[in-house]
Amino acid sequence: MTANSTAQSQDQNSAKNLYGHAARTATVTRDTAETQVTCTVNLDGTGQGTVDTGVPFLDHMIDQIKRHGLFDLEIKCTGDTFIDDHHSVEDTGITVGQAFAKALGDKKGIRRYGHFYAPLDEALTRAVVDLSGRPGLHMDIPFTRSHVGTFDVDLFSEFFYGFVNHSWMTVHLDNLKGKNSHHQIESTFKAFARALRMACEYDERALNTLPSTKEAF
Ligand SMILES: [Mn+2]
């Protein structure tokens, strides 16, 4: 996406999405001494956009969120990968989380909860999402290897902690079966994508209500 089209997508806040609701888009830029990250999200997208974090395996995983969550995501991270991938992975998670929180706005009319089981060959992962307003990540992924190619599986949780802590959602990720760590991770991202899509989607019978008896998040 060019600089022009980024600006255009920010302007869409007054525009309508495919369903006639106000478009839910946001752009967040986060600049630190370690990384510079920009993320534009459209919650009512069709899975378009370019993800370039400087960490190819992370790009491959965020592409799962984009494609299976049907979120449009434009992400660019320039980070200190000459040290290692840690800062880029964590800060991309933080920035994407902030963009989701901003795009979700007051959360009126959404389903709030989402869940999905995703298989990938021998691997099977369950993801459960609650857009609760309270950050919480509960993961049980018994990795069978420490690395996938050059990607350190420790970084997997850094992405999700960043995302969850900055979007104030509760997420449970349980890898129930799996022998190949690439499959364990990819089935987790696919399950998360579908669960997040379900949680973010509008509930047509409750468009004017907040999905909380507290009437607040
Ligand atoms: Mn793969």
Whether 69 is covered by a domain: the verdict is: yes
Q: How far is the CA of 70 from the centre of ligand 1 (A)?
A: 18
Q: Please report, for the domain that includes residue 179, its CATH number.
A: 3.30.230.40
Residue range 91-103: mean pLDDT, rounded: 98
pLDDT per position as a tens digit, 175-200: 999 999 999 999 999 999 999 999 99
Q: How far is the CA of 17 from the centre of ligand 1 (A)?
A: 31
Residues 6+ apart with CB under 8 A from 33: none
* Alpha helix segments (H runs only) across the chain: 3-11, 56-69, 86-104, 154-167, 181-200
Whether 54 is covered by a domain: the verdict is: yes
Whether 55 is covered by a domain: the verdict is: yes
Residues 6+ apart with CB under 8 A from 171: 127, 128, 129, 130, 136, 137, 138, 160, 164, 192
Q: How far is the CA of 165 from the centre of ligand 1 (A)?
A: 26
Whether 51 is covered by a domain: the verdict is: yes
Residue range 48-71: mean pLDDT, rounded: 97
Q: How far is the CA of 194 from the centre of ligand 1 (A)?
A: 17
Q: How far is the CA of 184 from the centre of ligand 1 (A)?
A: 10
Q: How far is the CA of 14 from the centre of ligand 1 (A)?
A: 37
Q: How far is the CA of 59 from the centre of ligand 1 (A)?
A: 11
Domain that holds residue 21: 3-200
Domain count, the chain: 1
Q: How far is the CA of 172 from the centre of ligand 1 (A)?
A: 22
pLDDT at 14: 59
Whether 217 is covered by a domain: the verdict is: no
Secondary-structure percent of the chain, ordered helix, strand, coil, rounded to 5? 35, 30, 35
Q: How far is the CA of 64 from the centre of ligand 1 (A)?
A: 9
Model pTM score: 0.91
- Strands 147-148, 151-152: pairing is antiparallel
Whether 143 is covered by a domain: the verdict is: yes
Max CA pair span of the chain: 51
Give helix then strand counts, H and E, for the chain.
5, 10
φ, ψ at 214 (rounded to 5°): -75, -15
| Degrees to nearest 5, angle at CA 90 with 77 and 97 | 80
pLDDT at 17: 74
pLDDT per position as a tens digit, 7-25: 444 444 457 776 677 789 9
pLDDT band at 207 (very low <50, low <70, confident <90, very high): confident
The fraction of the chain above a pLDDT of 90, given in percent, is: 82
pLDDT band at 5 (very low <50, low <70, confident <90, very high): very low
Q: How far is the CA of 60 from the centre of ligand 1 (A)?
A: 7
Q: How far is the CA of 145 from the centre of ligand 1 (A)?
A: 15
- Strands 25-31, 147-148: pairing is unpaired
Whether 214 is covered by a domain: the verdict is: no
Whether 207 is covered by a domain: the verdict is: no
